[in-house]
Structure 1
Amino acid sequence: MNAFLAQLPALLGVLVGTLGTILATSLADRGRWRRGQRVRWDERRLEAYVELSRAVKEIHAVSMRMLVAARPDRSGHAIEREEGLARLAEADVRNTLAWENVLLLGDAATVEAGRGWREAVWRIERMAHDPNGQDDHGTRLVDLKGRADRARDAFYQAARTGLGVPGGSVAQSDWLAARHEHRVGAGLASSWHS
């Protein structure tokens, strides 16, 4: 019995060490699994955001090309109405499918910002569908484009925040508005001197 009592501290040490190793391994595996899941869902979320961005931006670009005649700066290449309508129909399908992925995987702030961007671009698209070049509220195209640009900035900021992407703001709306003003000003100045 004395031999057993003499070896008891060593046996307890082995037992505690084994239990500690099992616990540490289990916690490490659980943490590794959680990190893997987080990375996996972040990758899927990023893919969904990129897919939606492409679809919404395509609708925006095609609509703006259909509306070149209504734009004060008249920049860009016009597109024939029938071709534009066909491209808008195809892009709308991609937009709808991409939106479902964002609804499934996106965080609340990004979904809300995406909804705002889609709505702003939808108003431009609606104007492109109208042969008179006006939406039902008589809002000027420049204002609609500015809203869509600001809504895109909000979507990108929400997506970057939700994904933990560092680097600050990548907003483009102010820069695009200044560029538009420069183009319009340059066009007006050249017409005054003609």
Structure 2
Amino acid sequence: MITQIVTLVGVLIGALTSYFSVTMAERAKHRRALATRWDERKLNTYIEYAACVKEVADASKFARLAAAGSEEFDHFIASMNEGERKRSALFEALVLLAAAPVVSAAHEVNVVVWDMEKRAREHEPPPVRGNLHERLNEYHEKARQDLGINEEAWRIP
């Protein structure tokens, strides 16, 4: 009888150990899958935002170069306005998904883009030293850090 109880306790301990190890492994697998899914969404949002910023910047540059009141100018201003609406929506998605340093860097990009738009509408020359590229580079760096991409990971040996 004692050997049967010992055997039964051993089977019970084995079953519980098996259950808890499988449960913990499944939870870890689920957490990794969620993290991967959110990282993919972050990456897509980061890329779409940067691409949209470049579209708005190009439209503002071409609008500034076009003759005021011309059809070409109106076309570029309309394109710039449409890009601004898209950039604004993408920035909201970015705020929801990104870490604070990325949001801060993106806000700095926004400030430069708004200045470019204002100058385009008023046909003012660009600033002596445009810093959109610097701000975008900072944004890219913060985005890479948020995604856990270090320099060694993407550098070709």
TM range (shorter): 0.7 to 0.9
**Counterpart mapping for 1:26-105 below 5 A:** 26-68=23-65, 80-105=72-97
Who is 2:146 aligned against?
162
- Residue in 2 that maps onto 1:9: 6
Gaps of 5+ in 2: none
The one-letter amino acid paired with 1:156 is H
Q: How does 1:139-154 map to 2 (within 5 A)?
A: 141-143=127-129, 145=130, 147-154=131-138
Matching of residues 115-130 of structure 1 within 5 Å: 115-130=107-122
Cα distance in structure 2, aligned partners of 1:167 and 1:68 = 38
Deviation of 1:166 after TM superposition, in Å, equals: 3.0
User: Once the 2 structures are TM-superposed, how far is the Cα of residue 9 of structure 1 from its aligned partner?
Assistant: 2.4
State how many pairs are aligned. 150
4+ residue segments displaced more than 4 Å? none
CA RMSD after TM alignment = 2.1
Q: Which has the higher contact order (CA 8 A, sep 6+)?
A: 2
Q: Identify which range, 25-34 or 56-65, moves more after superposition.
A: 56-65
* CA distance in structure 2 between the aligned counterparts of 1:141 and 1:6, rounded to whole angstroms: 88
2: CA distance, partners of 1:19 / 1:142: 71
Deviations 1:82-125 (A, max 9, x none): 11101101101111111111011111111111000111122112
TM-score, scaled relative to structure 1 = 0.71
**5+ residue gaps in structure 1?**
70-78, 135-139, 171-194
